[in-house]
Amino acid sequence: MIGILGNGSWATALAKLLTENHHRIAWWMRSEAAVAHLEEKGHNELYLSSVLFEPEQIKPTTDLNFMLTHCNVLVMCIPSAFMFDVLRRMPKDSLKGKKIISAIKGILPEQHQLLQEYLTAHFEVELKDYFAITGPCHAEEVAQERLSYLTFSGINTDDCQYIAALFETTYLRTTTNNDLWGSQYAAVLKNIYAVGAGIAHGLGYGDNFLSVYITSCYREMHRFLSQHFLQMNEQDTMPDFHTSAYLGDLLVTCYSPHSRNRTFGALLGKGYSVAAAKAEMNMVAEGYFASLGMKTIIDQTGIDMPIMQYIYEMLWQQKSCNGTLKKIELLLC
């Protein structure tokens, strides 16, 4: 049995893919009401409610111990801001030997770490058993069965291909790579840059500006990934960053109306405070929390990332969106 932790739109989309491939899933949710609704009605009440599930294929539960006992493959779909609250409820040896699939596109906010860095240090998880899912892919389009793509990253090629095959359908195509760190950092950064794109949209900037903005964001992302790769010496050959998991995911997250990070930024650009924008949305904008973690990481690594820095200042230091975008304008070429 495959376990899914989390009940948002992305968790629901991944549950749809797995059950369509005839895998039985255990589905952990925080709320007894959400579990009861899914058992009775066959759909997630709050997220992607048009997706229907067969009762015999799913086991919704709020019992974390059930998941840890019965599932050898666990898909982590809890927003990074809340992931640690769940991890500290787990025994330290409870993940040993399990395949862990991260669908989290963020950094643990208190530790400023990617999920696998924390799990390998504190939960006896071996890196060979850890895999990451990145885009470009919106949950809403998976629900609509529109052709989409996912990248699966893991250091063991055969195991990574096996994990990818669990999710592949006629409308969901998969590819694999062994760039665990880079692919996840790219997913973190694209959410931050998408908040900036949303702020620009909310302030009335047009597509011409956004095309140059996104180009500059990709250049900055590429610089971080390349320099971080050299600092970490993670593998013998530098990965190809000019692929959909990096550039493609950045493009769709910055442009698409499905993007929660873009939506969050647009509210800020229209004059909402950070607190008001968070209250307005029914979903978590990972880019908000990720910008704090990335600020710590770039300070530690010394890698120059001025666009990311300016977005951090708007989100965490209450710097003027209009004034800061004027500064970003001067960086673009």
In whole angstroms, give the CA distance from residue 74 to residue 58.
14
Furthest C-alpha separation in the chain: 57
- In the structure encoding, which two tokens stand for residue 254, read together? 């910055």
DSSP line for 125-145: --GGGEEEEE-S--HHHHHTT
Name 227's Cβ contacts closer than 8 Å, sequence gap at least 6: 301, 303
Collapse the DSSP code of 319 into the 3-class scheme (helix H, G, I; strand E, B; otherwise coil) and give the result: coil
Torsion of CA 144, 5, 183, 312, to 10 degrees: 100
In whole angstroms, give the CA distance from residue 7 to residue 317.
31
Number of C-alpha atoms within 13 angstroms, CB side, residue 108? 17
Among residues 92, 190, 278, 326, which one is catalytic? 190
Backbone angles phi, psi at 74, to 5 degrees: -120, 130
190 catalytic residue (yes or no): yes
Cα 262 to its chain centre, rounded Å, is 14
Three-state secondary structure of 57-81 = HEEEECCHHHHHHHCCEEEECCCHH
In whole angstroms, give the CA distance from residue 321 to residue 177.
37
Enumerate the active-site residues: 190
